[in-house]
Amino acid sequence: MLIVAERINATRKSVREALQRKDEAFFIQEAKKQEAAGAHFIDVNAGTEASQEIENLPWLVELIQDEVGIPLSLDSANDQALARALRVYRKKEVMINSFTAEEERIKAILPLAKDYNALVVGLAMGEGGIPQTVEDRIKLVDKLVEAVDRYKIGRDKLFVDPLVVPIGTDHYQGKVFLETVKAVKEKYDEVQTICGLSNISYGMPNRRLLNRTFLVLALGYGLDASIIDPLDQEMMSSIYAASALLGYDEFCMNYLSAYRSGKLGS
């Protein structure tokens, strides 16, 4: 599973405050810790106010990119902030997170993804918000795929996010998400799937238990990537174990390597 590390996100109070004081050491340490924990991409979200994001996102990219060996995921719905950040980005691989099935968002984000040969996250969401059924989400996935085809972006560059809705508001939504992942994989074998996992447990007690259990289930349904906190050792241990058990880990090498390096805990 591809791990996109979620901790550098301005919705977190500590990150927002560090951005305000331009605390370089804070962000470098966060990026390095997440890489060491096993992340494949560092998600960078500077989304406070739009005017500040245009300045803060390229600042963060400039600061972090050479401090880690892994690529960045630029997390913004602001095409101006993304454009500025991409201009200062020097690594070969980059992910853009994200666009929706709305034509306005497609026209704003996909030209950037095309120009920079980026991986791009597409949300199964349209003008009416997040659909409640698998069938309606797949209709929006169809639009996402049509959009990347129109812009001549390879389908293998598209990561579809079927969107996680808290089970505390609708107890069927965990199953809806899982079935949508399965349907995407069956219909579009080149397209990959991703999610921001922790929404599933919002408002519930013992959120970490729900999160890691849901992630193991999602792996079984074919989820390719997840935006998570890689410093959550129990979550990461579950990923290594589930990947080995599902046959995704050739000769169990990743599991064994994680065990030898102490990443599986006691």
Mean pLDDT of 225-254: 96
> Is the confidence at residue 76, as pLDDT, over 90?
yes
User: What contacts 162, CB < 8 A, 6 or more positions away?
Assistant: 124, 137, 141, 177, 180, 181, 184, 193, 195
The dotted CATH code for 2-260 is 3.20.20.20
- The pLDDT of 27-55, averaged and rounded, is 94
Domain ranges in the chain are 2-260
pLDDT at 48: 75
d(CA 266, CA 263): 9
Q: In what order do the strands lie in the sheet with 72-75?
A: 192-193, 158-161, 119-123, 94-99, 72-75, 41-45, 2-9, 225-228
User: In the predicted model, is pLDDT for residue 266 greater than 70?
Assistant: no
What would the pLDDT profile of 182-220 be if each residue is shown by its tens digit?
Answer: 999 999 999 999 999 999 999 999 999 999 999 999 999
Least confident of 48-52, 63-67, 148-152: 48-52
Instruction: Rounding to the nearest 10 degrees, give the CA dihedral for residues 137, 77, 210, 7.
Output: 160
Q: pLDDT digit string (tens) for 115-167?
A: 999 999 999 999 999 999 999 999 999 999 999 999 999 999 999 999 999 99
Q: What is the DSSP string of 176-237?
A: HHHHHHHHHHHH-SS-EE--BGGGGGTT-SSHHHHHHHHHHHHHHHT--EEEE-TT-HHHHH
Beta bridge partners of 193: 160
Residues 100 and 120 sit within 8 Å (Cβ to Cβ): no
Angstrom distances, CA of residue 257 to CA of 136, 162, 241, 250, 266? 41, 31, 12, 12, 15
